[in-house]
């Protein structure tokens, strides 16, 4: 399919901006009430800094990662920055997206977050949305599903992952200070990660 990565980033930015207050409210419950603000600021900068006509996914995603790293701040800036920069490495030289490439990019992004955040699944972070999403995506692709079908499955798994974060205590990031008191609240980072996946799915659906 013909892909405009800039158009896709526009979708992500719109979703993050529309949900800015929601994300910030989630972070108010178990953090410091800045996640939506941080992310909206970061993606606004992304749209300004990324060259609109650049076709190479690797070049674009590297710029996205560097911009998020320098503008988002907090825990999520370095984490999402790393995720996009790791995805950039596997997408270098590519100008079309395929299910296999997306699977690799998602895997690289997750590995980057795990390494940078010293985190694993089950600690009430963005990984609790992204890892099940990647697993669901790969499973669908292996069964011969289309890219869009696999993205639908990934989004459904990410949403389940967000719901799961309500049931567990945080052991990473600011929310970990609350310990058991973080139970009952959904993780802001898992929520923003899900919004990104849904935006990508909606973009690919057209
Ligand atoms: N070590 C970690 N590994 C993976 N994800 C993490 C980690 N720490 C925090 N997160 C994710 O980051 C989100 C919080 O992002 P936010 O932008 O609000 O940073 P913050 O906690 O306010 O950072 P800081 O306290 O350093 O200012 C959490 O909801 C969680 O998903
Ligand atoms: Mg915060």
Domains of the chain: 5-205 (1.25.40.340)
* Rounded mean pLDDT, 5-24: 97
Cα(15) to ligand 2 centroid in Å equals: 18
Cα(35) to ligand 2 centroid in Å equals: 5
Cβ atoms within 10 Å of 116's Cβ, excluding its own? 17
CB 82 within 8 A of CB 116: yes
Tokens 């300004």 correspond to 48
Residue 1: pLDDT band by 50, 70, 90 thresholds? very low
Mapping DSSP onto H, E and C, the string for the chain reads CCCCHHHHHHHHHHHHHHCHHHHHHHHHHHCCCCHHHHHHHHHHHHHHHCCCCCCCHHHHHHHHHHHHHHHCCCCHHHHHHHHHHHHHHHHCCCCCCCHHHHHHHHHHHHHHHHHHHCCCCCCCCCHHHHHHHHHHHHHHHHCCCCHHHHHHHHHHHHHHHHHHHCCCCCCCCHHHHHHHHHCCCCCHHHHHHHHHHHHHHHHHHC
- pLDDT given at position 2: 52
Q: Which of 25, 40, 71, 75 to mutate to test the pocket of ligand 1 (most atoms within 8 A of CB)?
A: 75
* Rounded mean pLDDT, 148-162: 98
Cα(154) to ligand 1 centroid in Å equals: 22
Q: pLDDT per residue over 164-184, tens digit each?
A: 999 999 999 999 999 999 999
Give this prediction's pTM. Answer: 0.97
126 lines ligand 1 (CB under 6 A): yes
Cα(53) to ligand 2 centroid in Å equals: 33
- pLDDT given at position 3: 66
Q: pLDDT per residue over 16-55, tens digit each?
A: 999 999 999 999 999 999 999 999 999 999 999 999 999 9
Mean pLDDT, the chain, integer? 97
Ligand of minimum distance to the alpha carbon of 76: 1
**Residue 10, both tokens:** 């526009």
Phi and psi at residue 180, to the nearest 5°: -60, -25
Whether residue 83 has pLDDT greater than 60: yes
Q: pLDDT per residue over 88-134, tens digit each?
A: 999 999 999 999 999 999 999 999 999 999 999 999 999 999 999 99
Q: Which of 19, 21, 73, 76 to mutate to test the pocket of ligand 1 (most atoms within 8 A of CB)?
A: 76
């Amino acid at each position: 399919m013909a892909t405009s990565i800039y158009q896709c980033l526009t979708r992500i930015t719109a979703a993050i901006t529309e949900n800015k207050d929601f994300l910030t409210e989630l972070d108010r419950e178990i953090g410091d009430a800045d996640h939506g603000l941080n992310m909206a600021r970061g993606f606004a900068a992304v749209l300004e800094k990324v060259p609109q006509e650049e076709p190479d996914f690797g070049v674009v995603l590297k710029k996205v990662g560097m911009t998020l790293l320098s503008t988002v701040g907090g825990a999520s800036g370095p984490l999402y920055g790393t995720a996009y920069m790791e995805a950039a490495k596997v997408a270098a030289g590519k100008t079309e997206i395929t299910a296999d490439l997306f699977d690799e990019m998602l895997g690289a992004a997750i590995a980057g977050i795990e390494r940078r955040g010293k985190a694993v699944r089950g600690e009430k972070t963005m990984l609790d949305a992204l890892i099940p999403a990647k697993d669901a995506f790969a499973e669908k692709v292996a069964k011969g599903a289309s890219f869009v079908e696999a993205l639908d499955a990934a989004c459904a798994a990410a949403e389940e992952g967000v719901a799961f974060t309500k049931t567990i205590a945080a052991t990473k990031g600011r929310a970990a200070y609350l310990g058991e008191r973080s139970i009952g609240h959904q993780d802001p980072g898992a929520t923003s990660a899900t919004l990104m996946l849904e935006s990508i799915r909606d973009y690919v659906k057209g």
